[in-house]
Amino acid sequence: MPDTPDLSISCLVWGDVLDHLFEVQLKETDSVPMLRKAIKEQKPHAFHGLDANDLEIFRTSALVAGWDDADDTEGLMEAVASEKHAKVMPNRVLSQVFRWPLAVGGIHILVKPPSTFTAPQATISINCLVVGDTRNHIFTVDLAGTQKVSHLKDAIKEKKKPYFDNVPADHLEIFRTSFPNDGELEDKLKNLNF
């Protein structure tokens, strides 16, 4: 009995950036539920708390699946957003889903968690320093990646109690810098014009 061909299926979570494209390897004779399981195994953090069969998967349009201009990532992402993609039913084998050879540069499957699913929020840690303080007074503020500057100001005010007790959070001026915390940090900060 001959080996069934392998499929290298390029997948992207719906709404994600192209840099997060990932690939799963399956056989043409494998089923759609096996594809869902492989996707969940590749992205355990993105789909934490979900069963594989909760994932909605879509076969991309012929334009997106056959994309052959590796340099035009902007065009590819526009096509992902504007083209119509077909929802894949679970009672199929992959040879029924992909009736043509899979192009190397395209996106073949878009993955969508159920609409009730809330993805885990990325947390960012921001090192802060009050102007005039020395580097041994650097403090860290943790925020959800979706929070705004006003949340950062509130967190700074809270973290530096009682230093900013008499200053409304929206009156705090914050400046973005990017310097290593080394022996030259204080000199670099002194040379900035805030």
Domain ranges of the chain: 6-112, 123-190
pLDDT, tens only, 82-105: 888 889 999 999 999 988 788 887
Q: Return the pLDDT at 57.
A: 92
Nearest partner of 92 among 4, 31, 7, 36, judged by Cα: 31
pLDDT at 1: 47
Summarize the confidence of residues 63-68 as an average pLDDT. Answer: 82
Over its C-alpha atoms, the chain yields an Rg (Å, rounded) of 24
Task: Assess contact for 156 and 174: CB atoms under 8 A.
Answer: yes
Domain 6-112 belongs in CATH node 3.40.50.720: no
Distance CA 179, CA 130 (A): 15
In this prediction, residue 179 has a pLDDT band, given cuts at 50, 70 and 90, of confident
Question: Contact 10/108 with Cβ under 8 angstroms?
Answer: yes
- Among the listed residues 143, 102, 103, the one whose alpha carbon sits nearest the alpha carbon of residue 121: 143
99 vs 108: CA distance, rounded Å: 12
Percent residues over pLDDT 70 in the chain: 92
Supply the pLDDT for residue 81.
81
What is the identity of the amino acid at 15?
Answer: G
